[in-house]
């Protein structure tokens, strides 16, 4: 699942494949960029911001541009050697192809694909909260933004990228389990917001650099999560069956014993 750590990893793959290279061709398969040609442009770097990927480029005239993409649930970038078969996804899902002498980068099922001056990057990602994997990670600012919406459920607040950038459904579920917090708890009733965001940052950072996401410390199949994806399976702490239910427009997993609801759902969240 493309959460902040997955996008961070993807950015590093593209950076290793393309950084410093002059593009020998490009093929955009989205209407808004269909006539765009990046041939001759130089790839300066690849970076991530929360769940957004930013490929920074230098045009032939020396101006700097950013190719922005969002993976959402289905998107992916893959880097191939020249001549290698593109096997990651069906061809009809390809949205962009970038060619260089040493690598071919293929973007599948990308969202919000846009090309903008690098100086205007904030127009693309400026609405995001502190990036959990960014050099400028600011836990105090993340807490301030969460606390500004006291009646929101903590489950929904953690997924709001305007509060903090990088948490997806997996980390939301796992963080709340480890903190013993029901996903339906209103933000105002969470006893230690700072501890919650600090744990979230620590979990994402621990998985940075690898593709298998684990919050338990185990990389073995079926042992990588406490509650996420484990509906009806026994809680690893108390043995109670893990539950799954909709929360907002996403599903959530939790243990009803380890994460008791202390505030009725009809009373402020």
Q: For residue range 103-114, list pLDDT tens digits in order.
A: 999 999 998 899
Positive or negative torsion for Cα 69, 107, 133, 139? positive
Q: Please report which confidence band the pLDDT of residue 243 belongs to, taking 50, 70 and 90 as the band edges.
A: very high
pLDDT at 267 over 70: no
pTM: predicted TM-score of the whole model, two decimal places: 0.91
Nearest to 139 by CA among 201, 49, 203: 201
pLDDT at 247 over 70: yes
Q: For residue range 196-215, list pLDDT tens digits in order.
A: 999 999 999 999 999 999 99
In this prediction, residue 171 carries a pLDDT of 97
State residue 123 phi and psi, 5-degree precision.
-70, -20
What does the alpha-carbon distance between residue 230 and residue 225 come to, in Å, rounded to a whole number? 8
Which residues are known catalytic residues?
Answer: 2-3, 51, 250
In this prediction, residue 265 carries a pLDDT of 67
Q: Of all helices (H) and strands (E), which one includes residue 88?
A: none
Nearest to 199 by CA among 162, 226, 229: 226
Mean pLDDT of the chain: 94
**Averaged pLDDT, 138-144:** 97
Determine the 3-state secondary structure of 175 from DSSP.
helix
Edge-first strand order for the sheet with 94-99 is 25-28, 94-99, 104-108, 76-80
Q: Please report which confidence band the pLDDT of residue 266 belongs to, taking 50, 70 and 90 as the band edges.
A: low
Q: For residue range 146-162, list pLDDT tens digits in order.
A: 999 999 999 999 999 99
What does the alpha-carbon distance between residue 112 and residue 110 come to, in Å, rounded to a whole number? 7
């Amino acid at each position: 699942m493309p959460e902040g750590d997955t996008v961070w990893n993807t950015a590093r793959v593209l950076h290793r494949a393309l950084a410093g290279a002059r593009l020998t061709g490009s093929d955009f398969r989205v209407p808004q960029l269909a006539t765009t040609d990046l041939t001759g442009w130089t790839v300066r770097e690849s970076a991530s911001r929360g769940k957004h990927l930013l490929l920074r480029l230098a045009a032939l005239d020396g101006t700097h541009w950013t190719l922005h993409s969002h993976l959402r649930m289905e998107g992916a970038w893959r880097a191939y050697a020249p001549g290698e078969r593109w096997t990651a996804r069906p061809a009809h899902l390809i949205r962009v192809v970038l060619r260089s002498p040493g690598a071919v980068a293929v973007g599948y099922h990308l969202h919000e694909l846009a090309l903008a001056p690098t100086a205007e990057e904030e127009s693309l990602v400026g609405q995001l909260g502190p990036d959990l994997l960014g050099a400028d990670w600011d836990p105090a600012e993340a807490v301030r933004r969460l606390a500004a919406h006291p009646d929101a459920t903590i489950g929904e607040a953690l997924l709001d990228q305007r509060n903090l950038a990088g948490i997806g459904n997996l980390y939301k579920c796992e963080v709340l389990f480890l903190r013993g917090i029901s996903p339906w708890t209103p933000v105002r009733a969470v006893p230690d917001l700072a501890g919650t965001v600090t744990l979230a940052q620590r979990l994402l950072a621990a998985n940075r650099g690898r593709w298998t996401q684990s919050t338990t410390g185990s990389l073995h199949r079926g042992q990588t999560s406490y509650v996420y994806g484990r509906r009806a399976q026994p809680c690893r702490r108390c043995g109670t069956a893990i539950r799954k239910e909709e929360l907002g427009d996403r599903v959530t997993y939790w243990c009803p014993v380890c994460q008791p609801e202390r505030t009725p759902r009809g009373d402020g969240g």
